[in-house]
């Protein structure tokens, strides 16, 4: 009789372990399905900022005047905050960003800008619209990203 009771206990623990493995894999799959559209939306947002920046660079270089654009960016992607930053080196300029807080998350993606510009500034979600400004000074064409409330 004791052998039958112990086999029931082993079967019960095996069933619990298999169930927990199935539940955790389902949760991981559901999280992945939710994350993929958020990453795609972040990429689209970076492409939008890069395209608007290229448009302003072309307008500024053609007219030799300062140009600004107000960017109506979403306050969050899904339920997550995000950040966008303009960066440049001596040879390249790019738009980068990621989901999460600016200091807590790694750069998720880069979209390169025209090489002949200097880019700077950042934007964090939940702070209103962004301002993209392009101007020419002695060093060349400059593109700057800021939060609207910082420029007013």
H/E/C letters for each residue in the chain? CHHHHHHHHHHHHHHHHHHHHHHHHHHHHHHHHHHHHHHHHHHHHHHHHHHHHHHHHHHHHHHCCCEEEEECCCCCECCECEEEEEEECCCCEEEEEEECCCCCCCCCEEEECCCCEEEEEEEECCCCCEEEEEEEECCEEEEEEEEHHHHC
Residues in the chain: 152
Residue 64 falls inside a structural domain: yes
pLDDT digit string (tens) for 97-134? 988 877 666 777 888 988 788 999 999 888 788 999 99
pLDDT digits (tens, 9 = 90+) for 64-102: 999 999 999 998 888 888 999 999 988 889 999 988 877
The number of distinct structural domains making up the chain is: 1
| The pLDDT of residue 151 | 56
Does the residue 11 lie in any domain?
Answer: no
**Domain span at 145:** 39-151
pTM of the full structure: 0.77
User: Tokens 């800008």 identify what position?
Assistant: 113
- 47 domain residue, yes or no: yes
Residues 6+ apart with CB under 8 A from 125: 73, 74, 75, 76, 77, 81, 82, 83
Query: CA distances (Å), 70 to each of 49, 99, 144, in order?
Result: 11, 21, 12
Asked if the structure places residue 30 within a domain, the reply is no
Whether residue 77 lies inside any domain: the answer is: yes
């Amino acid at each position: 009789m004791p052998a039958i009771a112990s086999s029931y206990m082993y079967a019960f623990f095996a069933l619990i372990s298999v169930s927990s493995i199935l539940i955790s894999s389902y949760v991981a799959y559901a999280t992945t399905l939710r994350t993929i559209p958020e990453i795609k939306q972040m990429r689209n947002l970076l492409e939008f900022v890069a395209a608007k920046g290229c448009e302003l660079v072309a307008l500024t270089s053609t007219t030799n005047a300062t140009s600004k654009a107000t960017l109506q960016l979403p306050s969050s992607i899904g339920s997550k905050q995000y950040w966008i930053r303009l960066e440049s080196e001596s040879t390249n300029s790019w738009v980068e960003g990621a989901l999460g807080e600016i200091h807590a998350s790694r750069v998720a993606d880069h979209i390169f800008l025209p090489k002949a510009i200097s880019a700077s500034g950042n934007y964090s979600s939940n702070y209103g619209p962004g301002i993209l400004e392009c101007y020419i000074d002695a060093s060349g064409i400059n593109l700057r990203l800021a939060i609207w409330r910082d420029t007013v």
